[in-house]
Amino acid sequence: MIALKCPACNAPLEAPADRPRFFCRFCGTPVELSDLQIDSPDGSHQAPSASPKPVVPIPDHLQVETFGDELTIRWRWFSWIVLFLIPFAIAWNAFLIGWYAMATGMGADMPGPMRWIFLIFPIGHVAVGLGLIYAILTMLFNRTTIRVRHGELSVSHGPIFFPGSKSVAVDDIEQLYCTREVNPGKNGSVHLRHPLHAQLKSGRSVVLIKGSTDRDLVRSVEQLVERHLHLEDRPVDGEAR
């Protein structure tokens, strides 16, 4: 048996050495032995022995283009959840339009304070409505593009603006690796995200892809870029293998 700690609640775990996947008995988080750290007696952290990472098939929705020394990887943000969000956003914003139409139409008959209350009260709901529209538009039209060319690795999102675009000099990259973030949800549910990092020769780590829930997509991007840059895959502390 190996003594480990849960990545979500930091509770002590005991996992059979022959079981790579199990569940935390305190919070129910699914954990993998290769993702955890072992606490050594001197207080340092050691990763379990790393086995070679399996080759991940390229997902169908991942577009890969190579031209000479250039590599381009693209994927759309489309999710079927947008089919639920569209009618919900229409109903939500239609209610707000009706509310403000009523408030402005009746404004002349209302005392001053009451009129302002009617106008200010739904401000939070307006923000939610605009956020829904923004989310729908990004899911319908946005793509993430990772490009290696002219000695730089760049990450961009568009055509609708979304934060997170960046570029890193190829000569500064030592390794790419994927981590796992466990975010407890309601009713014991767990939300997993798999950021993609670039380990630089300076020792600094840069997040290239922040919030992807598609582990196979992130692993595929990692393998494609490492292969293109002729980077030998090596285990990195904190990596989800």
Per-residue pLDDT of the chain (241 residues; tens, 9 = 90+): 445 666 666 677 666 555 566 666 666 666 666 555 554 444 444 444 455 677 778 888 899 999 888 999 999 999 899 999 999 999 999 999 988 887 777 655 666 677 777 778 888 999 999 999 999 999 999 999 999 998 999 999 999 999 989 999 999 999 999 888 877 767 666 778 889 999 998 889 999 998 787 888 999 999 999 999 988 888 887 777 6
CATH T-level fold of 51-77+143-229: PH-domain like (2.30.29)
Q: Are 87 and 132 in contact (CB under 8 A)?
A: no
pLDDT for the residue 235: 81
| pTM (global) more than 0.75 | no
pLDDT for the residue 138: 96
Q: Are 15 and 6 in contact (CB under 8 A)?
A: no
pLDDT for the residue 193: 85
pLDDT for the residue 75: 95
- In degrees and rounded to multiples of 5, residue 14 shows phi and psi of -130, 110
DSSP E strands, the chain: 2-5, 12-15, 21-23, 30-32, 38-39, 45-46, 62-67, 70-76, 143-149, 152-158, 166-169, 173-178, 181-184, 190-193, 196-200, 205-209
Q: Distances from the Cα of 52 to the Cαs of 22, 93, 121, 241, in angstroms? A: 20, 51, 57, 8
pLDDT for the residue 44: 47
pLDDT for the residue 136: 96
